[in-house]
Structure 1
Amino acid sequence: MEFSGSPQISNRVWTVPNVLSFIRLGLVPLFLYFILNAQDALALIVLVVSSLSDYLDGVIARRFNQITRLGQLLDPAADRLFIFAALIGLAARNVIPWWLFIVIVAREIMLVILGLISANFGFGPLPVHHLGKVATAGLFYALPILMLGQAFPEVAWVTDPIGWAFALWGAFLYWWAGFIYVAQSIRISRIPRG
């Protein structure tokens, strides 16, 4: 199905993509339980199921014109919660340093503040920048790859350098995208209201 122009965004709640996002949100506590208890193989399975549902909800939303306002909130929320759960679990087990957790959480706090500022000026959430998506993808690759090395130590000599490369680039791009959001917020704050 081809779309011309921007897709229609509906206010519907019960769509297939939204149900998949709700399921992903429900999987976060299970994932965190597995990762905190060093059940890395089970945590990886949950993460793979979540990633597949994330891919499917995007494809279904676009293909069948089921893009909703709720979905635009649920999808990134589920992404961020999985990243936070993985960061908390891996940092608590000393697989990654706490500074990486702090770097990523600090950027998220900054985005919340920017969201409040743009709401104060009468604007909705800032549009997602492609660099932010690339950064999130980098972290989405990094954390499972690092977990893979934990679940199967015999492959850690390969997975650890690759996982750390994605983690460091993801964190760097996360902040780069964050500064782009700061610039967007400054532009929004200068638009005359009235």
Structure 2
Amino acid sequence: MNLANKITLLRIGLIPLFFLACQPYPSWLVNQSVVFQYLNEYGGYWAVSIFIIASVTDKLDGDIARKYNQITNLGKLLDPLADKLLVSAALIVMVAQRLIPAWIALIIIGREVFVSGIRIMAAAKGIVLAADQHGKLKLVLQVIGIAAVLLRNDPFTYITSFRVDYTIMLMAAILTVYSGYMYMRNNYKALKLEL
């Protein structure tokens, strides 16, 4: 397994740490452990840091794969899967903590399931479909929006009372739908499907 794919696997491996960092722990556990006291107070910041580090590895593994000619079919399938798992994990946490409405998470996760289905159909025909520019742009917007929501709209709260985090998440949801449509439109001929 090459370095680019190992970095992609690292991104997947950071997801459980993200979950551990951002969970609100019950008071009986917090009262018994300094570690859980720390996580209850600062876990959100650690969760955002882990999420951003994991997100940055997406660009890193892509750059390494291109620079050292390590682009593989496994990498083309694994890289977008890692992105979907990371974003979905964050969305589930945010819905559970009532930071965003469930419909935003459903739109974004639904699109990811839809695109994954297309990739599976393509793989069954021996076709590997890589992510397009629309998909990469929506991922960037999702990462910014998720980080802002997890930080409870900081640092924007120091400037304005306007919910910048929520607005970015709305824009990410809209771009997610659009990128899903474009992905289908650009690849349906390869799959011999009809819109």
The reply to whether TM is greater than 0.5 is: yes
Q: Does 1:25 align with 2:12?
A: yes
The structural deviation recorded for 1:101 is 1.1
Q: Distance in 2 between matches of 1:34 and 1:156?
A: 25
Report the number of matched residues: 176
**Gap regions ≥5 residues in structure 2:** 25-39
Structure 2 vs 1, CA of residues 153 and 173 (structure 1 numbering), >3 Å: closer, same or farther? closer
**Gap regions ≥5 residues in structure 1:** 1-12
Q: Distance in 2 between matches of 1:58 and 1:92?
A: 32
Between 141-150 and 29-38, the greater mean CA deviation after superposition: 29-38
Structure 2 vs 1, CA of residues 91 and 112 (structure 1 numbering), >3 Å: closer, same or farther? same
Q: Distance in 2 between matches of 1:179 and 1:123?
A: 22
Q: How does 1:1-194 map to 2 (within 5 A)?
A: 13=1, 15-37=2-24, 39-119=43-123, 122-149=125-152, 155=157, 158=160, 161-190=163-192
Letter in 2 for 1:86: A
List structure 1 runs of 4+ shifted beyond 6 angstroms: none
Aligned with 1:149: secondary structure? coil
Q: Distance in 2 between matches of 1:86 and 1:35?
A: 9
Letter in 1 for 2:147: P
Letter in 2 for 1:167: M
- The alignment-based identity, stated in percent, is 29
Structure 2 vs 1, CA of residues 187 and 170 (structure 1 numbering), >3 Å: closer, same or farther? same
The structural deviation recorded for 1:86 is 0.6
CA RMSD of aligned residues (A): 2.6
